Amino acid sequence: MNISENSSGSQVTPRVSIIMANWNGRSWLEKCLPTIKQQTWEDYEVIVVDNGSQDDSVSWLQINWPEVIVIPLKINLGFAAANNIGIRAARGDYIVTLNNDTLVDSLWLEEMITAVTESDIGMVAPKITIWNQPDILDSTGIEIDKLGTAWNRGYGQSTENDYSTDVLGPSAAAALYRREMLNQIGLFDENFFAYYEDVDLAWRGRRAGWRCVYAPDAHVRHWHSATGEKTPRLKTYLIGRNKFWNFIKNYSRPKILLILPLYLVYDSLAAVVQTIHLRHPAPIHGRLQAWLTIRYIWSRRTAGEYKVALIPLAKPWQLKVRVKA
């Protein structure tokens, strides 16, 4: 794990770089890192970007995992920024983002690399299952409904009858990105802080002509939203804001004009339901912030069009539980 040396003593650059954003997650790192060490694919490095943790994550890593590259930050810059910092420090041809609240199968890395069979594959989505229910899916990639809400594809379904296929993009909880694609389209949009940054990145990648494949034999177990559960109000604020940002950034202008009235009615109902469920106005605050910054987000739109296969709308009251991880 990390850069090795060849027979001449010179350093060999790893082909894969695993980036982990960490915030007060030492207890999760204790479980996750040993499973990474058991990978059959050995040509990789691990970079942990610590988002200003108040526990002893950094010192614990430095003492117990000296082979891991640790980048400590003074404050919490968010999931998107932390991963970008790790990506810029990485040496691999393939970038893998991985949440600390995961357990990876020994073949996970090898199966994701094996899935990159063609030159236009820029992303790979592994099979992510529920931590304590490994026969139930958490995510097999990202899918989008008609109003821009992102869902974890396959969430809650059985792992039976699983097969490889193209998907919109991977959940950044466990994802592989080709560096060549990232060099072309850019990294995560740090304005998002957390949530929907992977949706935006996948959309930009697909618009640029890159594919994403789902690799069912690359297995990851995930404790859904372990970090988000610590700050549920912040999570619902960010999801409410970032969903609208993603809608504005990535839908075509004609679609925005056509769908916006329905979007406003539907999302307003969802915001009310979420506010009642949470007993806090954070979902409404997120939507208001999205509107206040709409001109800036509009300026960050990129040229080109990618026609996404959209799934049907869920009922607004289902959004209080069915949200993107």
pLDDT of residue 310: 76
Three-class DSSP category at 4: strand
- Segments in 25-166 forming alpha helices (H): 26-37, 57-64, 79-89, 108-115
Residue 118: partners with Cβ closer than 8 Å, 6 or more residues away: 211
Q: Is 282 helix (H, G, I), strand (E, B) or coil?
A: helix
User: What digits encode the pLDDT tens for the residues 264-296?
Assistant: 999 999 999 999 988 999 999 999 999 999 999
- Which class for 102: exposed (0-12), middle (13-18), buried (19 or more C-beta within 10 A)? buried
Q: Report how far residue 50's alpha carbon sits from residue 74's, in angstroms, rounded to the nearest whole number.
A: 9
Select from 122, 142, 112, 246 the least CA-distant residue to 182: 122
pLDDT of residue 47: 98
Per residue in 55-93, pLDDT (tens digit) is 999 999 999 999 999 999 999 999 999 999 999 999 999
pLDDT at 2: 45
CATH architecture assignment, domain 4-228: Alpha-Beta Complex (3.90)
Q: Which helix (H) or strand (E) holds 140?
A: none
**d(C-alpha 131, C-alpha 101), whole Å:** 9
Q: Where are the beta strands (DSSP E) in the chain?
A: 4-5, 11-12, 16-22, 44-51, 69-73, 94-98, 102-104, 121-130, 133-139, 142-145, 150-152, 165-166, 174-178, 211-222, 310-311
> What is the pLDDT, as a whole number, of residue 68?
98
The model's pTM is 0.91
What are the pLDDT digits (tens) for 9-28? 445 568 999 999 999 999 99
Q: What is the pLDDT of residue 241?
A: 97
Q: Give CA separation, 89 vs 71, 75, 83, 120, in Å.
A: 9, 18, 10, 24
Residue numbers of the chain with a pLDDT score lower than 50: 2-10, 321-325
Please report where in the chains the tokens 């869902």 appear, as a residue.
151
User: Taking Cα atoms as reference points, which of 159, 183, 156, 182 lies closest to residue 169?
Assistant: 182
